[in-house]
Structure 1
Amino acid sequence: MGDAVDQLVDLLDLEQIEVNIFRGRSPEESLQRVFGGQVAGQALVAAGRTVEEGRPVHSLHAYFLRPGMPGVPIVYQVDRLRDGRSFTTRRVLGVQQGKTIFALTADFHKPEEGEIEHQVTMPEVPAPESLPSAVDEVTQGLGAEAVRNLNRRQPFDLRYVNRLRWTDEEIAAAEQRSAVWLRTDGKLGDDPLIHVCAVTYASDLTLLDAVRVGNEPLFGNRRKFDLASLDHAMWFHRPFRADDWLLYTQESPVAGGGRGLGTGQIFDREGRLVVSVVQEGLFRRMRR
């Protein structure tokens, strides 16, 4: 595994300090707040470690209550709400310096056969091998040092299906949708929970791009808005591997009142819909 993937796995390897209490590392970064995908992924690890084997997660619903502080550990407190014959439910609170910064409810389901099965069709898009990595593409909009920093801390190989928009004309003409191929930049182990939690981490990387794409560049120094994730929901439909290519399609059906909604669908390389995602974000004009 690459250094960034090793760091991701280390972030998801929580310390168990009591039966239902876990502690996660929060690395020192230049960001103003802890990345939301990190907190969601760690909270799901905490929930999953209290569930019997053979019950994969099928959904999660989460709220980002306060910004987390980089460099300060986060304690995850798990409440065992239900242990039924088919479903297991957990509630997790993320606490930092005595304050709850995050709340998650996750449901786990014993696999069973169903009589109803259908899904939407994966859109036809270029193969990931034919697209540049996001790091290579943003070189034109960021300085060399910024590109190196982005590359160093990014555990995922991201490849945008549509080239990034830089000019005002390109931005104004963009539709409120985006699509990106992603996979971890190195192989993971075979623990299914780690793959699910890694994609939970990645699901927060680009989902609100669909809100931003018609309003500002996705990278660079011309950003107009400061944004923060407010809530996040995911449904896991089928098993997958986070170290294989996944297509993440995203669109924004509505924005207003300082908030924007993003919806996403994640497909594997065979076209199977494996995850559905919804997130609302807060958008406020940046003060210069």
Structure 2
Amino acid sequence: MPASADDLVALLDLEDLDLNLFRGRQPDTALQRVFGGQVAAQALLAAARTTDPAYVAHSLHSYFLLPGDTAVPIIYDVERLRDGRSFATRRVVARQHGRAIYYLTANFQRPEEGFEHQDVMPDVPAPEEGIDLGAMFRARGSGNTAEWEREWAALDVRYVGNSQQGLPEDPSRPARARLWIRVNGELSDDPLQHLAAFTYASDMTLLGSTLVPHGVHISTPGMQVASLDHTVWFHRPFRADQWWLYDQESPSASGGRGLAIARVFTQDGVLAASVAQEGLIRRRD
């Protein structure tokens, strides 16, 4: 996986094959399947490559269909669904071995003025007061430590707490988690690069919040965990290489699935994005 911000940018750069057709590269990784954030970010970039730069991505909705093969590139086929005066819509199918592994629909909008309101950011410790995720794995004696340091060095993640430990008690919301995240390095000033890098990182840690009340982690032996779908709404411009708060909550888990919803705040309190994901959280006894 990318070991730096430069490696992440290189991973998310696509090769043009033909009109509306792109190829995404694969990182050097020990993971057994393609990271969902990678395919989502590459698909978003493929959609943007076919869209007038005057339009800015404001939402994406996607489904993970099959595990991706890390040994071969991914082909992204873009369908231009709409090019209107205010909005443009693209559908992207990601393929490997002749099969669809992922579908994304992205909507783009010409920036315009309108009504403004937002939630207030919760009162949380500064990122520097959070626990480095690698250090937390080491403290647990988790086998994930080496994998984290090898695969996720391009991201800086600081754990704030969850509804079992570290966050104010709220019995009405038993599954919550908060983290500070940023790209571990400096990106360019291209807004699309920041949207793609954020999309890459947004697939991390969400399903962990669905397990908080149940006394298990994603890495607990016997757990089968996988993203099923992923949605992002981009509200306001922000930089992915500066700290953003991932304020996560899971309102429901049932039928072997967990739903996670998150608000994304910049360090100065701007609500920059919202994310939702449902995933498989199956205990295999």
Q: TM-score, normalised by structure 2?
A: 0.91
Q: Report the CA distance between 1:198 and its aligned residue.
A: 0.8
Q: Report the CA distance between 1:133 and its aligned residue.
A: 1.1
Q: Does 1:47 align with 2:65?
A: no
Partners of 1:232 and 1:162 in 2: CA distance: 23
C-alpha contact (below 8 Å) 1:265/1:275 kept by paired residues: yes
Partners of 1:211 and 1:146 in 2: CA distance: 19
Matches within 5 A, 1:117-266: 117-142=116-141, 146-154=144-152, 155-162=154-161, 175-218=174-217, 222-266=220-264
Partners of 2:151 and 2:184 in 1: CA distance: 11
CA RMSD, 1 decimal: 2.0
Q: Which of residues 275, 278, 281 is equivalent to 1:277?
A: 275
C-alpha contact (below 8 Å) 1:24/1:74 kept by paired residues: yes
With 257-266 and 222-231 compared, the bigger mean Cα shift is at: 222-231
C-alpha contact (below 8 Å) 1:164/1:217 kept by paired residues: no
Q: Report the CA distance between 1:9 and its aligned residue.
A: 1.0
Partners of 2:3 and 2:70 in 1: CA distance: 19
Partners of 2:49 and 2:187 in 1: CA distance: 18
Q: Report the CA distance between 1:254 and its aligned residue.
A: 0.7
Aligned residue type for 2:198: V
Aligned residue type for 2:58: H
- SS across alignment from 1:175: coil
Partners of 1:242 and 1:134 in 2: CA distance: 18
Give the length in aligned residue pairs: 276
**What are the superposed Cα offsets for residues 225-277 of structure 1, whole Å, 9 maximum, x if unpaired?**
21111111110000000000000100110111111100011001111111001
**What are the superposed Cα offsets for residues 57-90 of structure 1, whole Å, 9 maximum, x if unpaired?**
0000000011111121100000111111110110
C-alpha contact (below 8 Å) 1:64/1:230 kept by paired residues: yes
Partners of 2:125 and 2:204 in 1: CA distance: 21
Aligned residue type for 1:233: T
CA 1:228–1:236: 2 relative to 1, 3 Å: same
C-alpha contact (below 8 Å) 2:208/2:218 kept by paired residues: no
Q: Report the CA distance between 1:146 and its aligned residue.
A: 5.0
C-alpha contact (below 8 Å) 1:4/1:152 kept by paired residues: no
Gapped regions of structure 1 (runs ≥ 5): 167-173
Q: 1:170 matched to which residue of 2? A: none
Q: TM-score, normalised by structure 1?
A: 0.90
Aligned residue type for 1:162: G
Matches within 5 A, 1:95-110: 95-110=95-110
Q: Report the CA distance between 1:286 and its aligned residue.
A: 3.1
Q: 1:78 matched to which residue of 2? A: 78
C-alpha contact (below 8 Å) 1:137/1:164 kept by paired residues: no
- SS across alignment from 2:195: helix
Q: Report the CA distance between 1:54 and its aligned residue.
A: 2.2
With 19-28 and 183-192 compared, the bigger mean Cα shift is at: 19-28
**What are the superposed Cα offsets for residues 189-243 of structure 1, whole Å, 9 maximum, x if unpaired?**
11111100111111110111210122244465x3442111111111000000000
Q: 2:170 matched to which residue of 1? A: none
Partners of 2:275 and 2:233 in 1: CA distance: 7
Q: Report the CA distance between 1:53 and its aligned residue.
A: 1.4
C-alpha contact (below 8 Å) 1:79/1:90 kept by paired residues: yes
Question: Identity over aligned residues, as a percent?
Answer: 51
Gapped regions of structure 2 (runs ≥ 5): 166-172
- SS across alignment from 1:152: helix
